[in-house]
Amino acid sequence: MSENIKVERKGNIAIVKIDHPPANAWNLATVEGFEKAIADAESDKEVRVIIVTGAGEKCFSAGLDLSDVDNVDKIGPKGNNLWRKIDRFEKPVIAAINGVALGGGMELALCCHFRIMVDAPSVDRSDGTEPGHHPRMGRTQRLMNVVGKAKAWI
């Protein structure tokens, strides 16, 4: 498992924590570690609920780790398959959103069955620092399914 994914058990609950400072972003190793954590929770008959959260207090997950952009062609499809798996998971998956959720982090939150949020700091991207990229892991479809067509601003 990746050093960026921590798993803790509390009774029948598996808590999967994204721990990739500073923003819990997704590089290939983190996606693969998360994939293993989810597979382990799925096959463990004692686990009845999975809680996904981010380490720290400011960021649930910020999406793609731009330092691993060379692997984006692997990260996107792996993430898409993994998010789809979570969306269809037989055990309840709860996103404990403890800060901002951007890009793939928002997509992960949307594919979880339940989302519980804290007040997150606002994020201003008007300074032009947000790189443009195609949403690869189902954000546009899942947002509409979660909030409805009228509220989805896609």
* Residue 64: DSSP 8-state: B
Q: What is the pLDDT of residue 102?
A: 86
By CB atoms closer than 10 A (0-12, 13-18, 19+), residue 19 is: middle
Q: What is the pLDDT of residue 132?
A: 47
- Domain that residue 40 falls in: 5-147
From the candidates 3, 8, 57, 130, give the one annotated as an active-site residue: 130
Rounded to the nearest 10 degrees, the angle between the axes of helix 139-147 and helix 104-111 is 40
**32 in active site:** no
Identify whether 12 is part of a domain: yes
Identify whether 153 is part of a domain: no
| Per-residue model confidence as pLDDT tens digits over 62-115 | 888 999 999 999 998 999 899 999 999 999 999 999 988 888 888 899 899 999
**46 in active site:** no
More confident residue, 11 or 151: 11
Identify whether 48 is part of a domain: yes
Report CA-CA distances (Å) from 62 to 49, 80, 81: 24, 16, 19
| Per-residue model confidence as pLDDT tens digits over 15-31 | 999 999 999 999 999 99
More confident residue, 119 or 17: 17
CATH number reported for the structural domain that contains residue 97 in this entry: 3.90.226.10
